[in-house]
Structure 1
Amino acid sequence: MTGTSPGWLLQLIRSREDWTRRQLLAETGLSRMTLFERLDALFRAGLVHEAGAAGPTGGRPAALIRFAGQGRVVLVLDLDHHTGRIAVTDLAGRSLRERELPLDVAGPPESVLATVCDAGTELLAAGAGETLAGVGVALPGPVSPATGLLRPATVMPGWDGFPIAAFVASRWPVPVLLENDARAHALGEAAERPGTTPLLAVKYAHGIGAGLVLDGALLSGFDGAAGDIGHIRVSDDVDAPVCRCGRTGCLAAFASGYALLRRRGVTPSSSDDLAARLAASPELRDAARLLGRTLAGLVALVNPQTIVLGGALGRLPGVVGEVNTAVRAAALDRLTGDLEIVASTARHPAAVGMAALVAGHVYAPDAVDARLMG
């Protein structure tokens, strides 16, 4: 049914807000009877509605057909190393209500998830007239695209194979999607810059991760580990620092916020204000230059149009400047001549990215068709 089904028609309607029946007939090539049958199914399911009249056409005003997205929300559970950011958003990722709370993501998964789910329950209860479309969970670890499970993650011992989606779905019987936090961050940054491609986004805070968006599609990699740049080995020196992954010489062991605090004798925690502690430090400038040299290799591989630096450390002007200088010094001029390297301006890009993933999944043509047939 792909290409002619109600789900496919809904995807087309969602692509813009000013469709009329005549325009849909011209765009789809469907017969009048078939189009009206498809629309009728979508109307009965509450997925589309008439939204007033189109502009003057010289005859009887044509009714606009729009996606019925009002009141449909996404719950986003964004877990960082030491912080949980819980948000209720609309389908475009605009925050309606949110809360931030301290947590230790290395703790038992049942306890950590119960804490953020309780916060999510409170936020959802504060709304009125809303329908929960799905839940997006962003995690600081690799998520397998084949199984949807978290793969072994250095900062999340004990989470490997834990049924996160099933645990969350036991609270809310809606689709639950998992994604790596840095990749969700990248998808949100791409939404802030439509048409920018390829876009490489870096989340630089306690850890270091990245995501690549190409023509609107997020690169997950063969087994869900794309973007794990913190564990690129940048030194073979015998005295190189030991990384939390157990190896020596990883980028994260030199440059992550976690590593920089540990070298100061500070135990990283949810109370860290990384920007306040590290912004003026020479250690952070050195770390930013090392990050820039590492990113230069990625620039040579994917030739991005834009690099967006986010996270508590990544968006600092001094970090952006050092990364910019290091990338341009290490990569060829023809790769960097038109390259933008900018600080993130998005408040919560991972929430925007997770909302996009959830909405794309819930309203995918096959999912809509299955719901209508059920």
Structure 2
Amino acid sequence: MNSGPGDVLQLIRRGEATTRRELQDLTGLSRMTVAQRVDALLEAGFIREAGDAHATGGRRPHRLEFNVESSVLVVATVDTTHSRTALTRLDGTILADERVDVAVLDGPKVLLTSLAESFVRLFDEAGVAHDSLAGIGVSIPGPVDPHTGRPSQPPIMPGWDAYPISEHLQESFDVPVFVENDADAMALGEQSRNYPDSNSLCLVKVSTGIGTGMVINGSVYHGIDGGAGDIGHIRLAGETAQCQCGSFGCLAAVASGRAVAHALGVASGSDVKRMLAEGNVDALRLTHEAGGRLGEVMATVVSMVNPGVLVVGGDLASSALIGGIRESLYPRSLARATRNLDVRLSTLGADAGLIGLARIAVDQLFSAAAVNSAVSASAVPAPSGVVVGGRNAG
């Protein structure tokens, strides 16, 4: 393996090595070289010593850990009718958050300007210095081109195609900005927090639209241009309802929160969520039926990907929805594809996307290459002025 400070940091971040001795054993580096790497990371503020590790004979070794308080992130999960913003530590711990009631139909300029204003309020609310910001993460309810970081023909976001989200926010914040699909961010959040040992996880988000995020071997699978998991626009045989994308018979047109809300005569999936919590019989029945249609499509996803975990999230996530999914998923899948499958509701709820965005940002900001470059150039003066990826986060 490579042996620069950044590579050592990855071992510490993943918990594979938490002492200098363990780093020696894993890397094969000499004691002096490991000490140099660790000292460089300590000086940069990327890691810290925390208490004592278990003794192995002689002097007790200090435990090394990633310094999640060295800087902060701001993240935002954009939904069709509103967004949620948060100020977080590097491990995704939420320090402050708020709801921003601006719809995607208001256009990218209006919505992103509102997000930027919210970010400033969060710093003031939490009493955190603005120059401690290391990066920004934003998720949107549509495909994102992984090469450009821009929306890629999002079906339910008119006027957003190829919009430069990162560049817009960098007019106010001179830090790296990472843009991700909402279901992908949620999937990574669930995997990071609840299923770190799972090497194949799928999350299906059922809100205004329907999307699936896939985390394989610890990384989001995007497909060739960000379209992986966009199951909401698979067309179902025999269905004629018109979808927001303009096509007819899409899964989202019959099984999304918007579709169920329309059948119930209410405004949105958020209203359906409230009715489900109240035990409304019609909402429970229609959500269960939506789960059945969703399970038909997820049977193909499960057979193709063979995940160990299938997490169900979004406004319609409920026992009624997951019951319908199971009823149609299992009979339509080979037993081999589902014998080790764990189907369950999200436990993180709306926090999943925020936590996932924090993980996405940290994986890039503190990658081995970025840290090696920063440390070798002596470009990291202090934890509050982190310089990574060639951009000063202050």
TM-score > 0.5, shorter chain as reference: yes
Aligned to 2:391: none
Query: C-alpha separation between the residues in 1 aligned to 2:58 and 2:32?
Result: 22
* Per-residue CA distance 1:253-300 (angstroms, 9 max, x = gap): 11111123334554549xx42223466323332221111111111111
Counterpart of 1:198, as a letter, is S
Aligned to 2:88: 89
Counterpart of 1:370, as a letter, is S
Counterpart of 1:49, as a letter, is R
Aligned to 1:66: 65
Query: C-alpha separation between the residues in 2 aligned to 1:337 and 1:230?
Result: 26
* Per-residue CA distance 1:65-104 (angstroms, 9 max, x = gap): 3332225322111001112111122222222221123221
Query: C-alpha separation between the residues in 2 aligned to 1:55 and 1:189?
Result: 30
- Whether 2:244 is the aligned partner of 1:244: answer yes
Q: Which residue of 205, 208, 212 corresponds with 1:206? A: 208
Change (3 A) 1:56 1:256: closer
Q: Percent identity?
A: 38
Query: C-alpha separation between the residues in 2 aligned to 1:116 and 1:345?
Result: 26
- Whether 2:161 is the aligned partner of 1:125: answer no
Aligned to 1:353: 356
Change (3 A) 1:17 1:98: farther
* Per-residue CA distance 1:304-354 (angstroms, 9 max, x = gap): 2221111110x2111111111111122122322332221111131111111
Tell me if structure 2 keeps the 8 A contact 1:205–1:274: no
Tell me if structure 1 keeps the 8 A contact 2:202–2:310: yes
Tell me if structure 2 keeps the 8 A contact 1:177–1:357: yes
Query: C-alpha separation between the residues in 2 aligned to 1:54 and 1:331?
Result: 47
Aligned to 1:21: 20
Query: C-alpha separation between the residues in 1 aligned to 2:27 and 2:303?
Result: 41
Query: C-alpha separation between the residues in 1 aligned to 2:56 and 2:306?
Result: 46
For structure 2, the 5+ residue unaligned runs are 380-394
Structure 2 counterpart SS, 1:98:
strand
Q: Which moved more, 1:86-95 or 1:330-339?
A: 330-339
Q: Which moved more, 1:20-29 or 1:252-261?
A: 20-29
Query: C-alpha separation between the residues in 2 aligned to 1:129 and 1:277?
Result: 38
Aligned to 1:115: 114
Aligned to 1:368: 371
Query: C-alpha separation between the residues in 1 aligned to 2:57 and 2:260?
Result: 68
Change (3 A) 1:36 1:351: same
Deviation at 1:107, TM superposition (A): 1.4
Deviation at 1:236, TM superposition (A): 5.0
Aligned to 2:292: 289
Deviation at 1:137, TM superposition (A): 0.2
Number of equivalent positions: 368
For structure 1, the 5+ residue unaligned runs are none
Q: Which moved more, 1:195-204 or 1:25-34?
A: 25-34
Change (3 A) 1:305 1:18: closer
Query: C-alpha separation between the residues in 2 aligned to 1:294 and 1:317?
Result: 19
Structure 1 counterpart SS, 2:87:
strand
Aligned to 1:328: 330
Aligned to 2:311: 308
Tell me if structure 2 keeps the 8 A contact 1:107–1:156: no
Query: C-alpha separation between the residues in 2 aligned to 1:39 and 1:159?
Result: 44
Tell me if structure 1 keeps the 8 A contact 2:97–2:122: yes
Question: TM-score scaled by structure 1?
Answer: 0.91
Q: CA RMSD in A?
A: 2.1
Change (3 A) 1:322 1:57: closer
Query: C-alpha separation between the residues in 2 aligned to 1:32 and 1:173?
Result: 39
Structure 1 counterpart SS, 2:315:
helix
- Whether 2:344 is the aligned partner of 1:342: answer yes
Deviation at 1:46, TM superposition (A): 1.9
